[in-house]
Amino acid sequence: MARLPCKIIKGNQPLLAEAIPGIKAESDESNICYFHVVIADAQDSPFERGTFKLELFLPAEYPMAEPKVYLMSKIYHPNVDKLGRICLDILNYKWFPAQQIPTVLLLIQALLGASNPDDLNDGRPTKTKP
């Protein structure tokens, strides 16, 4: 497996340095492209004081291709399917290479605290908003 470029590793250092409140990530010892993530839920949400375990994998095409993120904690949430796939547009059809992993995890944390029932599990809106 090819090593990640230094630019990508440097861009994700805040993630590994625990500089993001409520988010902790550790790279896997056997694969630097695989991360174990724990996200603490925001206050004033249905899952307040909850913690969520996620798996994050950077594919070989990263940053041109989106990271693969799965919620491992079992919860009932309109934006997470039973396999743990997260319905978030930047993880699907709105991904762009300049997006940073810490930002993605912050958006997942926000989504877990405030669901968006107008989205399907593939990340595409079910109806248009006026």
87 is catalytic: yes
The 10 Å Cβ neighbour count of residue 5 is 11
**C-alpha–C-alpha distance, residues 72 and 92, integer Å:** 19
User: Which of these is catalytic: 15, 37, 39, 87?
Assistant: 87
Task: Fill in the amino acid letter for 129.
Answer: K
Residues belonging to the active site: 87
